[in-house]
C-alpha cells in the first residue's frame, strides 16, 4: 500500500513540476506544439522595394497574424534555409546561439527552426514585460531574442558582442519581412531585463538581447 501511495505521489509531483528545455523550472503545461505551415518562399515584394519601405513603427492594431504570416515571419527571422541546417541569418563560426521566443496573448512560445514549430513554454501572457512602452501589452506577437551564452563562451564582452551582432541580423530580416507584408515593427531595448528573464523562467545561461513587436498598423 505504501509503495502504491509513493508511486501516486511521484506521478502527481511530475505532473505539477517539470524542467523546461532551457534549464528553468516551470509549472507543467498541457502539451501544446503548433506546427506552422511551410513558409512561402516565393511571395513578397522585391528586395529593393522592401529596403525602400523598411521603417520603425510604434503603432499596432490588435488584429492577429495568420499562422501563415507567423510562419513566414519566423522563417525570415532565423529559419532553416539550407539542407545543412544553416539559417537565414548568419552566426559567427556557426554557433547558432540565438533563440526566438514569441510572446502572445495565450502564452510564451519557443520557435523551433528545424521543425518550423512553436512550442508552448509558459501558459501566461507576458507581453507587458517585453518592454516599457504601452504598445507591448496588446501587440499580436512580441518576439524576444535570447542568446544561449554557453554557445558563445559565457557573458564575456567578446561573446556578448557576437550575440548582439547575431540578433541585429535577425531583427533586420524581420524588418524586411514586415516591409514586404505591410506590417509594423520596431526593435526595442528599453526593457527591464532581469524582470523579463525572470518572467520567462530563464536560467543564468540565457540572456535576453532585444525584443521586437510585430503587428498590423493601427
How far apart, in whole angstroms, are the C-alpha atoms of residue 40 and residue 157? 38
Which CATH number do you get for residue 174? 3.40.109.10
Kindly state whether residue 205 falls inside one of the protein's structural domains.
yes
Kindly state whether residue 5 falls inside one of the protein's structural domains.
no
Percentage of the chain beyond pLDDT 70 is 86
Do strands 33-35 and 98-104 pair parallel, antiparallel, or not at all (unpaired)? unpaired
Kindly state whether residue 119 falls inside one of the protein's structural domains.
yes
Residue 118 near residue 144, CB atoms below 8 Å: no
Kindly state whether residue 26 falls inside one of the protein's structural domains.
no
Query: Above 90 in pLDDT, residue 31?
Result: no
How far apart, in whole angstroms, are the C-alpha atoms of residue 93 and residue 124? 35
- Domain holding 47, by residue range, is 31-215
Sign of the CA dihedral running 40, 146, 91, 48: positive
- Quick: pLDDT tens for 171-203: 999 999 999 999 999 999 999 999 999 999 999
String of DSSP letters for the chain? -HHHHHHHHHHHHHHHEEE-TTS-EEE-----EEEPPPP-SS-S--HHHHHHH------B--PPPPHHHHHHHHHHHH-B-STTS-BSS--GGG---EEEEEEETTEEEEEETTTTEEEEEE-S--GGGG-SSGGGGT-SEEEEEEEEGGGGTSS-HHHHHHHHHHHHHHHHHHHHHHHHHT-EE--B----HHHHHHHHT--TTEEEEEEEEEE-B-
Kindly state whether residue 23 falls inside one of the protein's structural domains.
no
- Quick: pLDDT tens for 83-132: 999 999 999 999 999 999 999 999 999 999 999 999 999 999 999 999 99
Percentage of the chain beyond pLDDT 90 is 85
Task: Write down the pLDDT at residue 2.
Answer: 47
Structurally, the chain folds into a number of domains equal to 1
Kindly state whether residue 200 falls inside one of the protein's structural domains.
yes
Kindly state whether residue 9 falls inside one of the protein's structural domains.
no
Task: Write down the pLDDT at residue 70.
Answer: 98
Kindly state whether residue 55 falls inside one of the protein's structural domains.
yes
Amino acid at each position: 500500500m505504501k509503495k502504491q501511495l509513493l508511486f501516486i505521489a511521484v506521478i502527481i509531483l511530475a505532473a505539477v513540476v517539470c524542467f523546461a528545455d532551457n534549464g528553468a523550472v516551470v509549472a507543467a503545461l498541457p502539451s501544446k506544439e503548433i506546427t506552422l505551415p511551410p513558409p512561402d518562399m516565393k511571395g513578397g515584394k522585391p528586395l529593393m522595394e522592401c529596403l525602400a519601405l523598411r521603417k520603425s513603427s510604434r503603432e499596432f492594431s490588435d488584429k492577429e497574424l495568420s499562422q501563415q504570416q507567423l510562419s513566414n515571419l519566423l522563417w525570415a527571422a532565423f529559419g532553416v534555409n539550407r539542407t545543412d541546417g544553416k539559417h537565414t541569418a548568419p552566426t559567427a563560426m556557426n554557433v547558432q546561439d540565438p533563440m526566438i521566443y514569441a510572446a502572445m496573448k495565450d502564452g510564451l512560445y519557443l520557435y523551433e527552426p528545424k521543425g518550423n514549430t512553436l512550442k508552448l513554454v509558459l501558459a501566461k501572457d507576458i507581453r507587458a514585460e517585453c518592454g516599457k512602452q504601452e504598445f507591448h501589452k496588446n501587440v499580436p506577437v512580441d518576439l524576444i531574442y535570447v542568446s544561449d551564452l554557453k554557445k558563445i563562451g559565457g557573458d564575456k564582452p567578446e561573446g556578448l558582442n557576437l550575440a548582439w551582432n547575431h540578433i541585429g541580423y535577425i531583427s533586420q530580416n524581420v524588418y524586411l519581412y514586415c516591409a514586404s507584408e505591410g506590417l509594423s515593427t520596431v526593435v526595442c531595448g528599453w526593457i527591464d531585463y532581469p524582470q523579463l528573464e525572470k518572467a520567462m523562467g530563464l536560467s543564468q545561461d540565457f540572456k535576453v538581447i532585444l525584443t521586437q513587436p510585430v503587428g498590423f498598423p493601427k
